[in-house]
Amino acid sequence: MNKKGFAAYYVLFFIIVIFLIAYVYSSRVMNSTVNLVRDFEKLKAKELCDLGKAFALNVIYKNYSQGSYDFYKSLSFPIKLKTETGNISIESIDVVKEFFKGKQKVLGDFKNVPLIEQGKNTGKYDVLEVKITGKTKKSQEVKGSFLFKVKRLEIVE
């Protein structure tokens, strides 16, 4: 074999190696970009879920301040809201019947519970669970379940 043919094999080998390295690098960059876009959309969905939480808290506050403690029974769920970045769906608002405190399951009806502060009965409270879904226009979805301890505006003597 002559020197020109031998050099051609070396050049061909190095070109193949360079193309393989370029392929691996470009595929990693593309995967990173796809993951970055997906994470950004998931973050937008989480923000939508937080916006739904604020909306639900506002609804709870308005109704409780008017003395309407069973308002959620008359609402039809899901409550759907549209924004520029996606959709919010308030799936339910209900009194908590059970929840987990650590690994322990706590059962009970958390409605009209006496509120004891510094050894005195200072009123009553409810614990409400709000379930919300935030979904972006690019189909990323985040579901959240939030517990709110809401004090009733009743005067206790």
pLDDT tens per residue, range 61-75? 999 988 888 899 998
Number of domains in the chain: 1
Question: Does residue 43 lie within any of the structural domains?
Answer: yes
Q: For 20-56, how does the pLDDT look when each residue is reduced to its tens digit (9 = 90+)? A: 999 888 888 788 888 888 889 999 999 999 999 999 9
Domain that holds residue 127: 3-151
Distance CA 34, CA 13 (A): 32
Nearest CA to 131 among 64, 71, 56? Answer: 56
Question: Does residue 27 lie within any of the structural domains?
Answer: yes
Question: Does residue 156 lie within any of the structural domains?
Answer: no
Q: For 72-85, how does the pLDDT look when each residue is reduced to its tens digit (9 = 90+)? A: 999 899 999 999 99
Question: Does residue 157 lie within any of the structural domains?
Answer: no
Coil vs helix vs strand at 124: strand
CB atoms within 10 A of CB 124: 17
The answer to whether 139 touches 44, Cβ cutoff 8 Å, is: no
